[in-house]
A and B are shown apart, each in its own frame.
Chain A
Amino acid sequence: MVSIAFFVFAGILIASALAVVFSRNSVHSVLFLILAFFNAAALFLIAGAEFLAMLLVVVYVGAVAVLFLFVVMMMDINPQTQPRLFAFEQFKKTSLDLMTFIGYVVIFFGLFVAIGYGLSYVYSVFAGIIEQPTKLAINEDLPWIAQLPWLSLLYDSALEVRFWIGLVAYFLTWRLTQVIIGSGFLQVASRFINSLPSLMGVAILLIFEFCFLVIQWQSSSMSESLSNSPLPPVDLMNNTAAIGQVLYRDYVYWFQGAGLILLVAMIGAIVLTLRHRKSVKRQNVSDQLKRDPKETVELKKIPLGEGI
């Protein structure tokens, strides 16, 4: 039951994050960001951090996202300089961008895996680690995807070798993917690919680094004893009270520092955006206080029958 909720919220979260990046209308982007924040708050609730979930809704959605919305509405953001297409053609264009992104990711992933494994296999054969892949000792505790024999090669070799193999594999993969996709096989996709600076490969690479990391993740047995402030059981005190117990005792200086950060941010925002309009009449308090009473009232002698 919980897993269904988790997958629903995580799915909507990732979908709305994709929509934030890929949507052409800025207001839509902000609204999808709000949706993402709500779903992240739901994920926090599933994890048991209820105070943080509500804090996310109140602060992030209620303040930051509304601030974004204000700014977006205030600015005359030109929609894309291309002419407005009908809705279906617009959808096709947007989905084509998305599909080229996904296609790029898939090709990149496949090539990176293949080249990385190939390089590490070659290295291992030359370094004499193994004679044949089937003779590797495979760790049965890892999930099935980590038990592929050549994959465990990447984990068993030293960190530095892995780094260099990864670097070479990444470079080769980048070039090969450019060749493959830019060659006319997906002709429209080359427009997308050519607009990618090479740094964006880092972003795509990060996704797969995270996936590999996650597959390999194991908590050590010492982690229970190393926790700084263990979560108390739910019937003793709720999450908010527990956070209060820890925050105001052990981390009170950090708490005050966070307040200082907010103060500085407030001052900065005001200093940046405040402007005095000339047409608005304002009080100048110091001038008012500097007023000399003798100069304010003047007595004029008016002869009878005449005006001033």
Chain B
Amino acid sequence: MAEITLNHYLLVAGFLFALGLFGVFWGRKNVITILMSIELMLLAVNINFVAFSAFLNDLVGQIFTLFVLTVAAAEAAIGLAILVVYYRNRGTINVEDISVMKG
């Protein structure tokens, strides 16, 4: 394994993405774990873009990573704001309790 090829980066990113997806479904009764798994997925996508940009000699991958980063930060902020307001009104952030869509 003398050289790091594109495949290594893709494997890492792929595994990270699947792990994040797994975390979203298996969010430990805790909405924050789900939000963090979404961040993991976005990180995996960023690794993918940067790896392709490095190995295919194209800067566009890194530019797009910038935008993905921006959107991820914005979405994390809004998601956490919703969570905070929900916690204020309900007093709990159990995933099972949130499934009641009334009131």
Contact = CB atoms under 8 A, between A and B. Distances in A.
A52 interface: yes
Given A75-B87, A273-B84, A43 B26 contact: no
B63 A251 contact: yes
B-side binding surface: helix, strand, loop or mixed? helix
Given A17-B16, A223-B56, A202 B40 contact: no
- Pick the most buried of A30, A203, A251, A258: most chain B CB atoms within 10 A of its CB: A203
B96 to A, nearest CB: 11
Contacts of A227: 56-58, 60
Nearest to A74: B84
Interface of A: 2-3, 6-7, 10, 13-14, 17-18, 20-21, 24, 26, 29-30, 33, 36-37, 40, 43-44, 46-49, 51-52, 55-56, 59-60, 63-64, 67-68, 71-72, 74-75, 77-78, 80, 195-197, 199-200, 202-204, 206-207, 210-211, 213-215, 217, 219, 223-224, 227-231, 239, 242-243, 246-247, 251, 254, 258, 261-262, 264-266, 268-269, 272-273
B67 to A, nearest CB: 5
Contacts of A273: 81, 84-85
Contacts of A49: 50, 53-54, 62, 65
Contacts of B36: 20, 29-30, 33, 68
Given A33-B36, A77-B30, A243-B59, A64 B72 contact: yes
Given A36-B40, A47-B54, A243-B62, A204 B22 contact: yes
B98 interface: no
Interface residues of B, number: 70
Interface of B: 1-4, 6-12, 14-23, 25-26, 28-30, 32-33, 35-37, 39-40, 43, 46-47, 50-51, 53-60, 62-63, 65-67, 69-78, 80-85, 87, 92-93
Contact of A67 (B25, B69, B77): B77
A28 to B, nearest CB: 11
B74 A261 contact: yes
6 contacts: A3-B3, A40-B47, A56-B46, A75-B87, A204-B22, A227-B56
A214 B7 contact: yes
B25 to A, nearest CB: 5
Contacts of A251: 63
A231 B21 contact: no
A46 B4 contact: yes
Given A18-B19, A26-B32, A200-B25, A231 B66 contact: no
Contacts of B76: 64, 67-68
A190 to B, nearest CB: 16
Contact of B8 (A10, A21, A29, A272): A10
Given A47-B53, A228-B58, 5 more contacts: A24-B28, A202-B21, A219-B56, A231-B53, A266-B77
Contacts of B32: 26, 29-30, 68, 71-72, 75, 77
Contacts of B10: 210, 213-214, 217
A75 B87 CA distance: 8
Nearest to B17: A206
A207 B18 CA distance: 6
Contact of B67 (A6, A231, A254): A254
